[in-house]
Amino acid sequence: MSATKFRFTEQAVEKLSVSDKRARYYDSQMPGLIIDVLPSNKKTFRVYKKLPGTQKPLSVTIGSFPSIAVEQARKQARKAMADIADGMNPNDSKRHFRAASVTLDTVYESYKLSRKLKETTLRGYEQVMDCYFDDWAKKRLADLTENRIYRRHCELTKRSPAQADLAMRTLRALFNFARAEYKSSDGRTLFPHNPVTILSEKRCWNNVARKQTRLRPSQLKPFLTVVNEMRDEAMVLRQDFTATVCDFVEFMAFTGLRKTELLELEWKNVFLDDQLFCLDDTKNGQGLELPITKPLEEILKRRAEYRVSGFVFGADNHHGRVVEPKKIIKQMNERADISFTLHDLRRTFCSVAETIGVGTYTLKRLLNHKTSRSDVTAGYTVLTAEELREPADRICKRLSEYAGVKSCSDESSLGQLTKQLANLSKEQRLELMSALLA
In a domain? residue 209: no
Residue that is last in its domain, among 47, 63, 88 = 88
In a domain? residue 242: yes
Torsion of CA 226, 231, 234, 240, to 10 degrees: 140
Question: Can you spell out the DSSP letters for 191-212?
Answer: ----GGGHHHHTT----PPPP-
Q: Are residues 55 and 106 in the same domain?
A: no
Q: Are residues 171 and 273 in the same domain?
A: no
Using 50, 70 and 90 to split pLDDT, how confident is the model at 366? confident
Q: What is the mean pLDDT of residues 162-171?
A: 95
Q: Which residue, among 46, 37, 129, has the nearest Cα to 81 in the 3D structure?
A: 46
Q: Is the pLDDT of residue 18 over 80?
A: yes
Q: Are residues 302 and 237 in the same domain?
A: yes
Q: Are residues 197 and 325 in the same domain?
A: no
DSSP 139: S
Summary mean pLDDT of the chain? 86
Domain count, the chain: 3
DSSP 424: S
Provide the CATH number for the domain around residue 79.
Answer: 3.30.160.390
Q: Are residues 48 and 130 in the same domain?
A: no
Alpha carbons 308 and 304: distance in angstroms, whole number: 9
For 208, other C-beta atoms within 10 Å of its C-beta total 13
Structure-model confidence comparison of residues 201 and 419, the more confident one = 201
Q: Is the pLDDT of residue 83 over 80?
A: no
Name 436's Cβ contacts closer than 8 Å, sequence gap at least 6.
none
Residue that is last in its domain, among 170, 201, 232 = 201
Structure-model confidence comparison of residues 350 and 87, the more confident one = 350
Q: What is the percent of the chain where pLDDT is above 90?
A: 48
Supply the pTM of this predicted model: 0.64
Q: Are residues 398 and 265 in the same domain?
A: yes
In a domain? residue 420: no
In a domain? residue 412: no
Q: How confident is the model at residue 409, as a pLDDT?
A: 47
Alpha carbons 159 and 259: distance in angstroms, whole number: 27
Contact at 8 Å (CB) between 257 and 395? no
DSSP 311: B
pLDDT digits (tens, 9 = 90+) for 93-118: 665 556 667 889 999 999 999 988 88
In a domain? residue 23: yes
Q: Are residues 162 and 197 in the same domain?
A: yes
Residue that is last in its domain, among 171, 201, 231 = 201
- The region of weakest confidence among 108-122, 184-198, 332-346, 420-434 is 420-434
pLDDT digits (tens, 9 = 90+) for 323-365: 999 999 999 999 999 999 999 999 999 999 999 999 888 888 8
Using 50, 70 and 90 to split pLDDT, how confident is the model at 205? very high
Q: Is the pLDDT of residue 411 over 90?
A: no
Q: What is the mean pLDDT of residues 111-135?
A: 90
Alpha carbons 130 and 263: distance in angstroms, whole number: 26
Q: What is the mean pLDDT of residues 411-438?
A: 69
Q: How confident is the model at residue 438, as a pLDDT?
A: 65
Q: Are residues 76 and 192 in the same domain?
A: no
Alpha carbons 335 and 230: distance in angstroms, whole number: 9
Q: How confident is the model at residue 31, as a pLDDT?
A: 86
Alpha carbons 397 and 294: distance in angstroms, whole number: 9
Alpha carbons 30 and 76: distance in angstroms, whole number: 12
Q: Are residues 394 and 247 in the same domain?
A: yes
Provide the CATH number for the domain around residue 305.
Answer: 1.10.443.10
DSSP H/E element including 279: strand 276-279
In a domain? residue 418: no
Q: What is the mean pLDDT of residues 367-379?
A: 64
Structure-model confidence comparison of residues 77 and 91, the more confident one = 77
Q: How confident is the model at residue 225, as a pLDDT?
A: 95
Q: Are residues 148 and 13 in the same domain?
A: no
Q: Is the pLDDT of residue 120 over 70?
A: yes
Provide the CATH number for the domain around residue 195.
Answer: 1.10.150
Q: How confident is the model at residue 300, as a pLDDT?
A: 96
Q: Are residues 84 and 105 in the same domain?
A: no
Q: Is the pLDDT of residue 384 over 50?
A: yes
The stretches of 27-145 forming alpha helices (DSSP H) are: 70-85, 90-101, 104-114, 119-132
- Domain extent for 127: 101-201
Q: How confident is the model at residue 408, as a pLDDT?
A: 46
In a domain? residue 417: no
Distance of CA 252 to the CA centre of its chain: 21
Q: Are residues 229 and 333 in the same domain?
A: yes
pLDDT digits (tens, 9 = 90+) for 287-311: 789 999 999 999 999 999 999 999 9
